[in-house]
Structures are given as structure tokens and as C-alpha cells.
Structure 1
Amino acid sequence: MLNFLIKNKKKITYLSLIFYWLILIIATSLPSKNMPNIKLNDKIEHLLAYFILGFLFNLSILFQDKFKILKNNAFISSIVLLMIYAILDELHQIFIPGRDGSFLDWSADTIGIILGVLGTYLIVNKITKIKLL
């Protein structure tokens, strides 16, 4: 099993990112009355959602070889690109019935992104014993 994961790490990471991001896009596009009622604080939901996105996105950048500038600056590029996406996501929610975009939501998204990217480095450093930061 471990050999399979190592051998297919790029595919697994990319597919996980695509699948998760699609779920996130769909979830943020639903009118509020169609949202599943999860009993978490709204800001915690934002933080957790973007933590996972930050983790998967940064891992994908670290595993890819096509864009060296992104890979060499994965920490900052992951954070900046996802912060831009989070702004666009909050703006798009203004047009969804019963939803709104807010600076506080974006702030929670950003904290989740930063923690997710840091989480990637902690795990990768632990597994590979290679200092990435």
C-alpha cells in the first residue's frame, strides 16, 4: 500500500485536490437554504475548508515539476494564489441568494490557507527529513 502511494503520489494528490476543490466550489455556490446544517461556527468552517485546500494545493505545487518558480517558492505562491481565490470566492457569494461575502470570512479563509500550507511543510519535513522552509 505504501509503495502504491509513493509511486502514485502526484496522481493521488492532483485528483484529491481537483475533487475537493470541486466540492468546495459547489458548496460555496449553493443558496443558504440549500446548505447542509453543520453545527460548527461559520468561521471555523471557513478555516477548516481552506486548511484542507491549502494543504492539498501546496502539496500539488511541491510535487509538480513543470513550473519551477512555483515549486521553488511554493510556500508564498500557495498562500498568495489561494488568498486571491478566496477573495474571488467571497465576491461570487454576493450573487448567491441568502449568502454574502465578508472580510471576516476571507480572514478565516486566509488563516486556514496559512495553517494548511504550514501543515504541508511539517508533514513533508517529518516524512522526508528534508527542510523545505
Structure 2
Amino acid sequence: MKKNKYLILTILWMLFIFVMSQTPGNDSSKQSNFIVDIIIHILPITRDTLSFIVRKCAHMTEYAILTFLLYKTFVHKQNPLIKSFLFTVLYACSDEFHQLFIPGRAGQIRDVCIDSTGALIMILIIYFILKRKEKKIGS
């Protein structure tokens, strides 16, 4: 059952990403503007730049979480880090393709790269945690 827990969480997270991508462009901007309105008073940065940063950080975070969940799903398989990364990149590609059909949204290669960067950061975090655990066990 424990193995299935991560598979179920992974599927739910993929559905969450799909639903968020289903949101029309104007509504999506309103969601990120909530965060922008909080931060804009703290940082000396233009609203457009901050909005861009918030939206892209959200992309990276969504896909970092997906990568982690996939890793936990594949952990007992061969090459779970590679499989997790590749699956995440493929899902990012499919997500951007999906956005081509949503009003006010556009599928962009740049967003696939940003999503993949979030995935890569998570892969590196997992890798270094695993290496650190190996050192402690070997000591």
C-alpha cells in the first residue's frame, strides 16, 4: 500500500497541474497577482517583473514537487532519478501542448525549460541527500 500511496499522490498532483493549466489566462494572472500584491510592498521591483518571477517560480515548484513524487513512486525501480526527470519533462511538454487550446494561454518551449529546471533542481537535491546518507552509513 505504501508504494501505491506515492503513485496516487503523483496522479493527484498531475491532475492539479492539469486543472491549473486549464485556467484561462486572465484568471491565472489574477491568482499570481494575489502573491504579487503582498511582495510588491517589500521589494523595489516593477509589478510586471515580479509577476513574471512569481509565475515562473510557481512553475518550477509545481514540477519540482512532481519530480519528488515520481522519484518516490519509482524508488524501487532501476534508475529512479533518471526516470523521474524524464517523465517530468515529458509531462511538462504535454502540459504546454494542452495550454495551446486554453483561451489566453500559450504553450511555450521556455516554460518547458523552466519546468524542467524545477525538476532538475529536485533531482540534484535528492541526489545530494542520497550521497550524504551513503557517507553516514559508510562512516
TM-score category of the 2 structures, normalised to the smaller one: 0.7 to 0.9
Deviation for aligned residue 1:85:
1.5
Task: Report the identity percentage.
Answer: 31
What TM-score does the superposition give when structure 1 sets the normalisation length?
A: 0.73
Structure 1 residue matching 2:13: 3-state secondary structure: helix
Aligned alpha-carbon RMSD (Å): 2.2
Distance apart, 1:23 and its partner CA: 0.9
Residue number in structure 2 paired with 1:59: 72
Structure 2 residue ranges without an equivalent (≥5): 36-52
Q: Please say if 1:92 is aligned against 2:98.
A: yes
Deviations 1:56-115 (CA, angstroms, capped at 9, x unpaired): 11111114xxxxxxx212222221222122111111101100001112211110001112
Where in structure 2 are the equivalents of 1:44-83 lying within 5 Å?
44-63=57-76, 71-83=77-89
Bigger proportion of residues as helix: 2
Q: CA distance change for structure 1 residues 113 and 62 in 2, over 3 Å: closer, same or farther? A: same
Distance, in Å, in 2 between the alignment partners of 1:30 and 1:13 is: 26
Mark the runs of 5 or more structure 1 residues left unpaired by the alignment. Answer: 1-7, 64-70
TM-score, normalisation: structure 2: 0.70
2:31 aligns with one of 25, 29, 37:
37
Q: Which of the two has higher C-alpha Rg?
A: 2
How far apart in 2 are the matches of 1:84 and 1:21?
12
